Structure formats: structure tokens, C-alpha cells
Structure 1
């Protein structure tokens, strides 16, 4: 299944380029790099030679898809265990 703007929350995010557009903590705004880790509540973004943990709930992210398209996503849509969020069967709020 290809990553599309409408299905981004259902896909693996690790490996995608990402930028923090807005955040409740201004120190996180503007961080950009590759998503290298994901937990239930945070994204690990490798930027400037270090990995920064950014809370999902209080931020908006801009993802660059393999097609080159940039997609903005509210972090609140991504809050969940990655394995649960990427399941493709059954009812899911991430579809």
C-alpha cells in the first residue's frame, strides 16, 4: 500500500522526512529531519546530528512523502502505539 496523504496516519512514519510546524513548546518549532523513532506519545527526529523527542499531542507535523508531496498532520491523530495505529484490519479511528 502506497503512502498517500489520506492514509499517512496508517503507515510507518520512521524513515520519512518531517518538520515540526507548530508546537505548544516553541523550542520544538522548526525542527526538521528524518523520523528515526516513534513511541506512543513521541516522535524521535534526527536533526543536526542528534535525536530530538517531540511530543505528538501538542504539535503539527509536515511530512514529505516519497512522491515529494508535503502533508500536514496534527500530532493528535498520531497518538497511539505504532503497531496498533498501522493495523489494516478491523475498526480504526486512523482510517
Structure 2
């Protein structure tokens, strides 16, 4: 199954670029990085700042995530939940660094997903056979 904005919650999230666009904890809003570990209730995001890297855990419940997906997803222009630019929640000084990131480009779609849609065991959520409610 191709990775599209509509099927993103049914795919593996590890390795995807992500940004927290809303959260119950305001200090997490704007957190940007790559998903390195997904558990039933959390996403662990590797954040790189000033040449250093750290992993921060963000609860899925109470958070809204924006994932950058490529290839087929970019063909689904104007689909529900899809944007072709990250929402501007940072000052303009950060806009240039975002444009230079590996996520920028024509073939990238940004998909916003409420974390509550991801609340399940990752292996169970991504199943396509059997009695999975996520089929």
C-alpha cells in the first residue's frame, strides 16, 4: 500500500520527519526532528540543534503531528490534511533553515495527524491482514 496522506496512520512512522504543531504541553509545540522510536502512547523524536542531537519523547495523546512524506503522497495535492508547506509557527529567522532542510522540495507533502489516531501498538496498527480494525 503506498504511503499517502490518507494511509499514513496505517504505516510505519519510524524514520519520518515530524513536527509537533499542537500539544497540551506548550513547550513541545514546534519540536521538529525525525521519529526514531514509536510506542503505543509516544513518539520519540531525534532533534538536532547546534551540531548536537537528543531524543525527546512526545505523548501521542493531546498532540497534533505534521509528517513529511514523499513520492506518491506529493501527487495527492489538496487532499484532506495535506499541505505543501509547514505551518509558520516559528519566527522568520528559522524559515530559511527549514527551507534548506532535507524535507524541503517539490515532491514532499506535509500531513497533519491528531495523535489520538495513532494510539495503538504500532505493529497492530500497521497490519493489513486478519482482523485488524485499521484495515
TM-score by length of 2: 0.67
Query: What value does the CA root-mean-square deviation take over the aligned residues?
Result: 1.2
Q: Gaps (5+ residues) in structure 1?
A: none
Partner of 1:35: 35
Residue 90 of structure 1: how far off its partner (Å)? 3.9
Partner of 1:76: 116
Residue 91 of structure 1: how far off its partner (Å)? 4.7
Partner of 1:52: 56
Question: Which has more radius of gyration?
Answer: 2
- Counting matched residue pairs gives 95
TM-score by length of 1: 0.93
Q: Gaps (5+ residues) in structure 2?
A: 72-107
CA contact (8 A) 1:36 1:45 kept: yes
Determine which structure has the larger helix proportion and give its number. Answer: 2
Residue 66 of structure 1: how far off its partner (Å)? 1.9
